[in-house]
Every structure is written in C-alpha cells, then in structure tokens.
Amino acid sequence: MEYTQLGRTGLQVSRLCLGTMNFGPFTSESDSFAVMDHALELGINFFDTANVYGWKKGEGVTEQIIGRWFAQGGGRREKVVLATKVYGGMGDWPNESKLSARHIRRACDESLRRLQTDHIDLYQMHHVDRATPWEEIWQAMQVLIQQGKIIYVGSSNFAGWHIAQANEVAKRRNLLGLVSEQSLYNLTARTIELEVIPACRAYGLGLILWSPLAGGILGGALQKIAEGRRAREQQQKAIAAKRPQLEQYESLCRDLGEKPADVALAWLLRNPVVTAPIVGPRTLEQLTGSLRALELKLDDATLKRLDEIFPGPGGEAPEAYAW
C-alpha cells in the first residue's frame, strides 16, 4: 500500500480510502466486518463514513456497524484514520440537521457513541450550510478540538469559494482550518477542475474523491450488461446516455490490457492534489481488485485519449472560459 500526507498535515493515509456507504443497506454486518478486516490486511488505514449512512433517519446504521467492528479490539481502532460527516438530517425537529453549533456538537457526540470511540480523526461537513456563519461553525469545531473529540476538520461538496471563506475565517481564529475536501470527481464529472482543485492546491487541502467510478459505469458497465448482470434503473439510464463514450473507453482499456475500473482510478491518482479515491466495495473481491490502480501509470498518449473521450471543462477558471 502507498501512503501520503492528508493535505498540508502530517497525517499519513492510504492512497485508497475505504468507503462504507454500502455497509448495512447492501452489505451485511458480517460481510462488512470481513471487508474492513481485509482492508487492514491490505494496508488501507483510511475509512470514510457519515452519520446518515444506512438511510434510516437518526439511526446511523453504518456508524453502528463500524462501532461494533471496533469493539472487537485487536488494534482495529488504533490502526484506522476515521472520517465521518455532519450535516444531514438526523431527526424531524428543528436543529437536527445542518451546521448550527448546537447540531454540530450534538451530532458529534452521537457519532462517537455509535462508533464506540473517544475521538474522530477527520470530522467533515457533508455540505455547505449557507444559513450558518463561519464564525459559529468554527466556534463549535474549536470546542470539539479542545475537548479531544475531533482532530482535523474537512469539508465535502464545497465550492472553491466556500473553501476560501472557511479557511480565511479559521485563520483569523488561529485555527488550522479545513485540511481536506471530499468531492465528486471522475472521468465523466470533471467540474471541480475549474475552481475546487485550484482552491485545494492553494490552501493545502487533501482531495478525497467520491464516486470515482461514476456509480459503476466506469467499471466495465457495458461488459457487465453483456454478461447479464442487472443494474439499477438510474445506472441503466446513465449507461444509455454515455454509451458512445463508454464504448470508446472500454475499447481503449482492452487495448491497454487493463480493467476499466483500474484505469479510472489510476487517472485520478495521477493528480498530485488527490489524496485518495473512495472505493466502496460490496465484496472482498471488489476491494482487492482496486489495488492494481496503485501500480498503473498512464502514459501521455493514454491521458490525451481519455481527454478526447471524456472532455473536461477546459482546465482551470478563468482560462477555461476566458482569455
């Protein structure tokens, strides 16, 4: 396994991050335990979750599964850099969602209880809250840091200017500020190249990537359909909309002698701002199969061809759309 620092921090994390969103809804608890144990065997030390995962409001199903796995001992908690998130609705009453200081502090305590741990290594804001001032958010985060309940603060689904705003206010409070951003990024979704990636580079944020395989359509989706594997309706629509591109992409991967999923992950990992794509396996086989991406180096001709198949926004703003 390869490791890198999380943004400008000294924290060492694996170049692949284990996503846990499938734990509970699609992967049983026993299978989830096996996946997490195998991740540690492979050297993956970076686990990402959220208080809303499990999709039963207020229950934090996925966090509970991880907590029971930690409770088995064996150094499991000590080996894991644990990231979870706050923002989503955990109840139907006012102040049971978003980023008020009240909700942040309560949500953190509830996550700690479910995760059966005394601290969260990376506490991420799951979305920007335009109604809450940054001073209030950082006051709450500062209290949690001082209490030893969280160590680092990250963001998710922020725009570039949100990253700048958040870190400038943190700087005035003599805080470390955001150390990471978790964004949607893959060959089919490249909007963050305009401003989020430049903001992360400028402020020293590590970039953690969700949906690196575009919901599976970059993982050899056409081949899987040909083999009779059934996909969800949403995925079927995405495949139909991008079929011409996917045909070219999978042809390129065959020419390279590589699996489409490995090429998609390797394309992300080549970017020096990227800390880790989040791999969300449902099975041990899927987890182990991701390792090839760490070894795969794409040459300039391949990168050029990928840009032709999946054009980005044209580079960084403003040059992407102006002189």
Tell me the pLDDT tens digit for each residue of 170-219: 999 999 999 999 999 999 999 999 999 999 999 999 999 999 999 999 99
Q: Indicate the pLDDT class of residue 136, thresholds 50, 70 and 90.
A: very high
Active site residue 152: no
253: tokens are 């991967």
Nearest to 83 by CA among 128, 115, 37, 54: 115
Active-site residue identified among 3, 53, 123, 321: 53
Residue 291: per-residue pLDDT = 92
3-state helix, strand, coil in the chain (%, to 5): 45, 15, 40
For the stretch 259-288, pLDDT in tens is: 999 999 999 999 999 999 999 888 888 888
Q: What is the average pLDDT score of the chain?
A: 95
Residue 283: per-residue pLDDT = 81
Residue 225: per-residue pLDDT = 64
Encoded amino acid at 11, one letter: L
Residue range 127-137: mean pLDDT, rounded: 98
Residue range 60-77: mean pLDDT, rounded: 98
Q: What is the rounded CA–CA span in Å between residue 37 and residue 308?
A: 40
Q: Are strands 12-14 and 150-156 parallel, antiparallel or unpaired?
A: unpaired
Q: What is the rounded CA–CA span in Å between residue 17 and residue 202?
A: 23
Where would I find the H helices in the chain? 29-42, 61-70, 76-79, 101-115, 134-146, 160-172, 196-203, 221-226, 233-241, 243-256, 260-269, 284-289, 292-295, 300-309
Residue range 300-315: mean pLDDT, rounded: 97
Q: What is the rounded CA–CA span in Å between residue 210 and residue 289?
A: 18
Q: Indicate the pLDDT class of residue 1, thresholds 50, 70 and 90.
A: very high
- The full set of domains in the chain, from first to last, is 3-217+260-301 (3.20.20.100)
